[in-house]
Amino acid sequence: MCLLSSPQDQDFRALKGEPSLFGDWFTGFVHEGRNYGGRYLAEFDTRMLPFVDHVQGSGIAAPRILECGCFEGGHTTAIAMKVAGARVTAVDAREDSLRRALQLAELRRCGNIEFHRDDLDDPQMAFTKEYDFIYCVGLLYHLRWPAAFISRCAASAPKLWLWTVLCSEREADHIEGDYRGRLYHEPVEHPLSGVRDRSFFLKLGSLHGMLALAGYRTVTLLQREEMKDGTGPAVLLSASK
C-alpha cells in the first residue's frame, strides 16, 4: 500500500504549524526554526548522518534507498532532504507510525518518499524492487527471522547500512541452525517494538556469519556501544557485496 497522499489532505492542513498536536510523538524535529514533537531527535542521529555521507560519496546521481522500519519518518525525511536526488522507499509494519511519517514528509515537502506497510519478517512488497542502498537502523533485533531478512536485503541491494542491538556473549542461550543468541520477549503493543512476541537477538559472530552467507564480502564496523538500558551491545556497520 502506498500511503503518500496529496498535501491537500485535511488532517495535514490542521496539523501544519501546530506544535502541540505533535506532542505525543517520540520523534522531535525542527521545522522552520521551531521545535516540534518528542525527545528523539532523529534528524541529528549519529547513526544516520554518516549514511548520508556514505551515499553522497558513492557518486550515484539518483540513489534508490530502501529504509526498513521507518517509524515516524525522522530518519526518512532527513535522508530524503539531505541526499541529492534520493528516491526513498520507507517501510514499516505499523499503520499509525506510517501516518505520522507521511505527515512529517508532507510538512517537509519531501516528494521523493514512498511509504509502504509491510511485515519485514514476511515481506510482500519491500523486496520486489532493486535498490542501491538498504538503510536498516533499529529493526533487525525486532525480527524473528533475521537470516532470511539479511538474505533478502542482499538480493535487493549491493549495500546495507545496519545498526542493531546484539546478544552479549554471556547471555547467548539459544541456537538456531548455525546461529547463536537469545530469544527476546517483544512488548508488541509498543510502537517501537517488533510485531511478534519473540525476536532473535544475535551474537556478533552470528551476525557476521549471516552477512557472509548472504553474499556481503566486505563488512566495516563503524561504531560499537553498550545499550544504556542493559539490553546488550549494539553495532553500526556498513556491508557491501
Ligand X SMILES: C[S@@+](CC[C@H](N)C(=O)[O-])C[C@H]1O[C@@H](n2cnc3c(N)ncnc32)[C@H](O)[C@@H]1O
Amino acid in the structure at residue 225? E
100 binding ligand X? (CB under 6 A): no
Query: Using CA of residue 99, residue 101, residue 102, residue 103, what is the dihedral sign?
Result: positive
Binding mask 162-201 for ligand X (x = CB under 6 A): ------------------------------x-xx------
Task: Extract the C-alpha cell encoding 47.
Answer: 547513526
Binds ligand X by CB under 6 A, chosen from 77, 89, 97, 112: 97
Contacts with ligand X: how many residues (CB under 6 A)? Answer: 20
CA distance 70 to 8: 23
End-to-end CA distance of the chain: 30
Contact residue for ligand X among 75, 100, 116, 159 (CB under 6 A) = 75
Task: Kindly tell me which of 120 and 160 has the beta carbon lying closer to ligand X.
Answer: 120
| Residue 202, all three cell numbers | 544475535
Which one of residues 42, 66, 86, 167 is an interface residue with ligand X (CB under 6 A)?
A: 42
Out of 119, 132, 171, 176, point to the residue binding ligand X (CB under 6 A).
119
Report the residue number, 60 or 195, with the smaller CB distance to ligand X.
195
Least separation in angstroms between residue 71's CB and ligand X is 3
Q: Which of 165, 170, 173 is nearest to 142 (CA)?
A: 165
Residues of span 122-141 touching ligand X by CB under 6 A:
137-139
CA nearest 136: which of 212, 210, 65?
65
What is the spatial distance between Cα 80 and Cα 75, in angstroms, rounded to a whole number? 8
73 binds ligand X (CB under 6 A): no
C-alpha cell, 191? 510502537
Q: Which residue has the cell 542493559?
A: 230
DSSP 142: G
Contact residue for ligand X among 66, 92, 162, 166 (CB under 6 A): 92
DSSP state of 123: -
Query: Nearer to ligand X by C-beta: 27 or 168?
Result: 27
CA distance 181 to 189: 24
Determine if 94 is a binding residue for ligand X (CB under 6 A).
yes
Based on the shown chain and the rule CB under 6 A, indicate whether residue 120 belongs to the binding site for ligand X.
yes
Q: Of the ranges 10-18, 119-127, 217-225, 231-239, which one interacts with ligand X (CB under 6 A)?
A: 119-127
37 binds ligand X (CB under 6 A): no
All three cell numbers of 66: 530502501
Q: Which residues bind ligand X (CB under 6 A)?
A: 42, 69, 71, 74-75, 92-94, 97, 119-121, 137-139, 142-143, 192, 194-195
